[in-house]
Structure 1
Amino acid sequence: MKKTMNSLYKPIYLITIFELISFIACQSPTYNYHFCLGPGNDTATASYKSDLTLLLDYMSSNASDKSFYNDSLNGIYSLFLCRGDVSSDVCRACVSNATQTLTQTCPSDKRAIIWYDQCLFRYSNINFLGQLELYPRLFMWNALNNTSPEEGDIGTRGLLYSLVSQAPYKNMFQTNEMVIGNGPGHRYGLVQCSIDLDVDGCSTCLRELLNQTEDCCIGRRGWRILTPSCCIRYEMYSFYEQTSNLPGSAPENEGGVGKGGKSTGKNTIIIASSLAGFLASVLVAGFSYYSSLVRKRRQKVEGTSQEILKRSSRGSKAAHLTEESIHLHLSDEDHSGDLHHFNLATIQTATNNFSRENKLGEGGFGPVYKVETGSLIY
């Protein structure tokens, strides 16, 4: 009997562990890109760094029950915005990752911004709160075109125009899906504005990005355009939650670390203590196992679109990222014609498929490889 019970407990335990691992993996935010901004001769002082650390810690703590928050401290302004459909847990994990990443990668910069699929985080020594900012601008798209050439124009534009026209009046966030043309399945779109913008600012931002899609993106299988003030995304697969936790209007915060901020609240879910105890008991084992898997995975040198392309293509499910390109605009004057992007095949060839012999070390964006021309690629 004892042997039978043990044999029953083992599969149940394993199922619980794997479910927990899946849950933890789902909470991990998907990195897109970041910028360390500001002139090189204007580095942060020790006092600035100390204030910034305090502010970032406070911002991260506020992500536990808010999808949007901004605050300031001694001339440092910061803001986070989580995607309108993500849960409080996902939002908190994303903001925590964002603050840690910026602290490590931009240690001497007075301004920085980082995008994940699930959130945006930025800080600056210049007050940007409530200001429309379209740069730096990040373009990402799937290098493959739609299977139906006639599909991409009217139907895609109709979906996007609908989202852009509604979002400024509906919590600065909107999603929708529709069947377009003769192509298989549905098409999905998402737009969002930073909640510190007014209706006119949100509308202007989204329409500017919509105009840009004519040059970069219409006809592609999937793409996104990200700016500090708004974003727009289109895919051939569902990438957002169908039931949204929409961010509402932003009331004044009474307990900010600086001069007060604005925030939007989310419902707090209280879990029974017995369930919490059970989850806690398997959390340690599950997380340890998951961490070991992550370490082993990082040791592999594999040319996947999620690990390369200037560390910027971590935007979707792997099945939809066979090749993805990136195009960066740092300012409205950056239109020289040089497309700062590479496709996967080109980089694999240039780095000998990311061989150990071509790896020089680790850079700010990840592994640094030498290509045949002697250049460096991150």
Structure 2
Amino acid sequence: MSFNNHNYLLIFSLCILYVESADPSAQLCNQNSNTTNPEITKNIDSILTTLVQATSKSGYIITSSGSGKSQVFGLAQCRQDVPNEECSTCVQTAAKEIKTICPDRVDARIWYEYCWIRYNTENFLGQVDTGYGTFYYNVENVTDPKTFNNALGTLMSRINKLASAPGNKGNAKDQTKLSDFVTLYALSQCTQDLSQLSCQQCLAIAVGNFPTYCDRKKGCRIIYSSCYVRYELYPFYFPLDKTLALQSSLMTNYLSVIKNP
């Protein structure tokens, strides 16, 4: 990997990832978005209440609260494969944590494995946002990178097209057999406010990071504000055998890279 691009701040951390982690996968508290305006704070609280209530029922919502310079825009979404109960639990946790992690910020975002929440006084809805990203990659390499990369490229191309297709709510998942004993699993997800073309654009940018950050790696996830892609050599999306998934992922070392514009 090259680290000569000074436009990005790269932060590395060695961590243990679990299938159902209580910690956020990523978070952003814009340091340039402090506010002491009580009206904005009130609108943020209103947004979070609405996001939790609506997302727990439907899995997705975009909304706004207030008007003028105090108006706040919000989005919450669960991964489309996640059952309602897990979705509801996730968004409740996210709404609570984002206020704790990002106090007095008008631009705040938090991602968990099953859901994510975002709000801002600037209208971000319908716009592709890949300025901030968090990337995780497995430190272990595959044994046959050429075969693996070919299979991964074909799989990601297929599910990215499905995710951006009308009626699929920006979501697609699939798997492919690499051998009799090894299966590759992948998932793509856009925020549902994006158009078909914008979803395609975001996913293409996300997958475009694979050669740089995830080349030959057994697992990888790219988290942007507008989309998310992930692949693993174990089942991680629903419906799944939780015992099998947990056994496959426990004590697997990942490195994380945080990219700030």
Q: TM-score, normalised by structure 1?
A: 0.58
CA contact (8 A) 1:114 1:122 kept: yes
Matched, 1:119 2:115: yes
Q: Which amino acid aligns with 2:253?
A: E
CA contact (8 A) 2:56 2:91 kept: no
Q: Which residue of 193, 197, 202 maps to 1:200?
A: 197
Equivalent position of 2:257 in the other structure: 327
**Correspondences of 1:271-282 after superposition (within 5 Å):** none
Matched, 1:136 2:132: yes
CA distance in 1, matches of 2:189, 2:50: 24
Q: For 1:61, what is the secondary structure of its paired residue?
A: helix
Q: Which residue of 68, 72, 89 maps to 2:85?
A: 89
In the TM superposition, residue 135 of structure 1 has moved relative to its aligned partner by 2.1
* Structure with the higher fraction of residues in strand conformation: 2
In the TM superposition, residue 92 of structure 1 has moved relative to its aligned partner by 0.9
In the TM superposition, residue 44 of structure 1 has moved relative to its aligned partner by 4.0
CA contact (8 A) 1:113 1:123 kept: yes
Q: Which residue of 174, 198, 207 maps to 2:172?
A: 174
Q: TM-score, normalised by structure 2?
A: 0.83
- Provide Cα deviations, 1:197-223, integer angstroms capped at 9, x if missing partner: 110000111111111111111311111
Q: For 2:49, what is the secondary structure of its paired residue?
A: helix
In the TM superposition, residue 33 of structure 1 has moved relative to its aligned partner by 1.6
Equivalent position of 1:219 in the other structure: 216
CA distance in 2, matches of 1:54, 1:171: 26
CA gap of 1:319–1:212, structure 2 versus 1, over 3 A, is: same
In the TM superposition, residue 167 of structure 1 has moved relative to its aligned partner by 1.2
Which structure exhibits the higher relative contact order, with contacts defined as CA atoms closer than 8 Å and separated by 6 or more residues? 2
Equivalent position of 1:189 in the other structure: 186
Q: Which residue of 65, 69, 73 maps to 2:61?
A: 69
Q: For 1:95, what is the secondary structure of its paired residue?
A: helix
Equivalent position of 1:35 in the other structure: 28
Q: For 1:155, what is the secondary structure of its paired residue?
A: helix
Q: How many residues align?
A: 232
Larger radius of gyration: 1
Equivalent position of 1:258 in the other structure: none
User: Unaligned regions of 5+ residues in structure 1, if any?
Assistant: 1-25, 244-315, 332-378
- Provide Cα deviations, 1:263-300, integer angstroms capped at 9, x if missing partner: xxxxxxxxxxxxxxxxxxxxxxxxxxxxxxxxxxxxxx
The RMSD of aligned alpha carbons is: 2.1
Equivalent position of 1:341 in the other structure: none
CA gap of 1:43–1:150, structure 2 versus 1, over 3 A, is: same
CA distance in 2, matches of 1:94, 1:152: 33
- Provide Cα deviations, 1:138-182, integer angstroms capped at 9, x if missing partner: 1111111113344321111111111112210032110000112x5
In the TM superposition, residue 27 of structure 1 has moved relative to its aligned partner by 8.3
User: Unaligned regions of 5+ residues in structure 2, if any?
Assistant: 1-18
Q: For 2:209, what is the secondary structure of its paired residue?
A: helix
Q: For 1:104, what is the secondary structure of its paired residue?
A: helix
